Amino acid sequence: MFVIYGCGTMATEKRPQTRNKTVGAFGENAVVDFIRQQGATIVDRNWRVKEGEIDIVAQLGDGSFAFVEVKTRTSITYGHPLESINSSKAHRLQRLALAWLATHQSLGHEYRIDCVAVIISANGKFTIEYRKNVL
């Protein structure tokens, strides 16, 4: 697990739904930067099918894929972000990963699923908790 601390500014709007989207996009961007810093390539973002969405697909140096689920929160009042990934969501992530590999003719490649928690505090600072190969 890595924990990194960063700082950024986030545009916030009044309407709650739009705000959530902004928060989510902010977190995902932060994670994409983080993955790039680690030397991996971002292959796909927000890949969406009927069943759901994969936030980030990255290809690592050894050719294997990492499917990344990002959870962003501005407070932990309602629990840790990663706690919201229950078993049905975990299974869906597995299915989505296989679906992505199938549509990209990459079945048989090594892959793993990572979950990332981004917690943004009120002053714009954020922390990234990156957990590899969690499922």
Question: Which residues would be at the binding site for other proteins (CB under 8 A)?
Answer: 1, 80, 82-83, 85, 90, 115, 131-132, 134-135
Calpha distance 35→100 (Å, rounded): 19
Q: Which is nearer to other proteins, 13 or 83 (CB)?
A: 83
- Residues 63, 100: contact at Cβ < 8 Å? no
- Note the Cα 2 to chain centre separation in Å: 14
Residue 124: closest CA among 30, 51, 31: 30
- Residue number, 58 or 81, with CB nearest to other proteins: 81
Beta carbon of residue 93, minimum distance to other proteins (angstroms, whole number): 10
Backbone φ and ψ for 91, nearest 5 degrees, come out as: -65, -40
CB of 16 to other proteins, least distance (A): 26
Of 17 and 87, the one with the shorter C-beta distance to other proteins is: 87
Q: Which is nearer to other proteins, 1 or 7 (CB)?
A: 1
Query: Least distance (Å) from other proteins to the CB of residue 89?
Result: 9
State in Å, rounded, how far the first CA of the chain is from the last one: 14
Helix, coil or strand: residue 106: coil
CB of 14 to other proteins, least distance (A): 31
For residue 92, count other CB atoms closer than 10 A to its CB: 15
Q: Provide the token pair at 109.
A: 């490649």
Report, in Å, the least distance between residue 71 CB and other proteins.
10
Shorter beta-carbon distance to other proteins: residue 9 or 88: 88
